[in-house]
Amino acid sequence: MKKYTIILVLIALTFVSCHQFREVNEAENVTPLSVSVKLKMSIENLAMTESFLVKFDNYSEGLHLEKEFSNDEVHMDDIVPGIYTINVSGVAIDQEGSEYYLNGNLVNVALFDNEASIELLLQGLKISPLVFKEIYYAGSRTPLNAVYFRDQFYEIYNNSSETLYLDGIYFANLTPGKAKTTLPLWPEEDGHDYVYAERVWRFPGNGTDYPLKSGESCVISQFAANHKLEQYNPNSPVDCSSSEFEFNMNNPNFPDQPAIDMVHVFYNGKSELGRIPQYLTSVFGGAYVMFKVPHGDTWDPVNDPAMKTIDLSKPNRKTYYAKIPIKYVLDAVEAINNESMVNAKRVPAVLDAGLTYVGSTYCSLGVARKPNKDKNGDFLRRENGALIFQDNNNSTEDFEKQVHPELRRYKTGMPSWNHSK
């Protein structure tokens, strides 16, 4: 018996080694590829389009190519075989004069065939008047080198020339909370129409309670306290006590602050807060959206089964995620660990064609939206002096990485109803 076992093991080893040798012998020296991209528009009645920019990003190897073009097809040369994110973006105006960002992307495209042809769907999103201006998610370290994550905050800016109302606008973080390559599997019938949230909050108000004037910003903090106080973390880079809103989770150790509480809407299929008394988005970087339900629509992910789903790749795990129609979204930002995790991109290109990161955890660093500048390098401003921030729906371009976090950077306005005024 022993003899046969030895013979079988030897045969198996021979087979495995032969297979390994045959496989490596098939490999040839790498050569650059040529690939063509054909565009398919999802918006009708476009009156005018500007030139498009196509980008090929192989983040893991740090290879980036881009080209401008004006037709519906472009050829890219000198591509090293690998896994790429392909982004195409441009601006278009429809016959009614509405301005759209046209974006399309394909994530994790394996390019290895020369002369390959790729079709890319371009979707349009109206340019948002409300944008994420600064996000601080990475946390900080205490003097004893312990970790501290209560100082996370999200700043929202009125980038338009009109006064807007925050009332009823939603904030959510998408799933997976942290970038990873094993992305969830969503219902096929959802198509490209939704993003999926872990937890959803809403600004309170009856419609006109929380106006935000042009050039003003508001801050939502995880915990709206001065984090530099001795009892929290003297090493924290921020004092969030002037925040307009906070995500109050009724934690007696981190008591309710004067900031207004955000309204909790959804977590795991329910409206309850859940058992863990904290709202923490990933210190590696999350994906955040801000959205508004249009007048006449109802959106209730708790009571409407059509607006929530489980991850179909884990059918035995009954964790529910809220379905957010992409057409509701005002702004989205995706943050990831670092450039190597772009293969795990969660947010469709129509919302955020890029990504941003601080590249570390508990490093007291955040990401901040860049102000637009003129050719002389001066900030572009509206007539009232409000800064105009860059918004290409591409966080790679729109955000400055690894900044020291600062509430109301560039001295943007504070709303009159702020409690600390």
Among 20, 42, 303, 420, interactor with another protein by CB under 8 A = 20
Laid out side by side, the sheet with 366-369 consists of 260-261, 245-246, 217-221, 153-158, 130-136, 366-369, 399-403
- In single-letter form, the type of residue at position 411 comes to K
Select from 7, 8, 30, 229 the one that contacts another protein (CB under 8 A): 30
DSSP category for residue 377: S
319 touches another protein (CB under 8 A): no
Among 41, 46, 49, 60, binds another protein (CB under 8 A): 60
Question: Which residues from 179-218 bind another protein, rule CB under 8 A?
Answer: 181-185
Binder of another protein out of 11, 13, 48, 276 (CB under 8 A): 13
**Nearest CA-CA partner of 381 in 200, 215, 187:** 215
The mark string for 229-268 relative to another protein (x by CB under 8 A, - otherwise) is ----------------------------------------
Q: 189 phi and psi, to 5 degrees?
A: -70, -15
Q: Which of 3, 4, 5, 31 touches another protein (CB under 8 A)?
A: 31
Note whether 81 binds another protein by CB under 8 A.
yes
Beta-strand pair 46-49/82-94: antiparallel
**Using CB under 8 A, which of 177, 204, 359, 415 touches another protein?**
359
Distances (CA, A) of 225 to 91, 231, 245, 247, 396: 41, 11, 11, 12, 30
- Binding-residue pattern over the window 139 to 178 for another protein, x denoting contact by CB under 8 A: ------xxx-------------------------------
DSSP string computed for 177-203: SS--SS-----GGGTTSEEEEEEEEE-
| Minimum CB distance to another protein smaller for 7 or for 30 | 30
In the set 41, 43, 46, 63, which binds another protein (CB under 8 A)?
A: 63
Residue written as tokens 């969030």? 240
Q: What is d(CA 260, CA 307) in angstroms, rounded to the nearest whole number?
A: 27
Q: CB of residue 164 vs another protein: minimum separation in angstroms?
A: 37
Q: Which residues pair with 190 in a beta bridge?
A: none
d(CA 184, CA 13): 37
- Total Cβ atoms within 10 A of residue 107: 19
Q: Which of residues 375-404 bind another protein (CB under 8 A)?
A: none
> Smallest distance, Å, CB 81 to another protein?
6
Instruction: Select the span of 56-64, 119-127, 203-211, 258-266 touching another protein (CB under 8 A).
Output: 56-64
* Minimum distance, C-beta of residue 345 to another protein, in the bound complex (Å): 12
CA distance 129 to 114: 42
> Which residues of this chain interact with another protein, rule CB under 8 A?
13, 16-17, 20-21, 23-32, 60-64, 80-83, 108, 110-112, 145-147, 181-185, 284, 312-313, 337-340, 343, 359-362
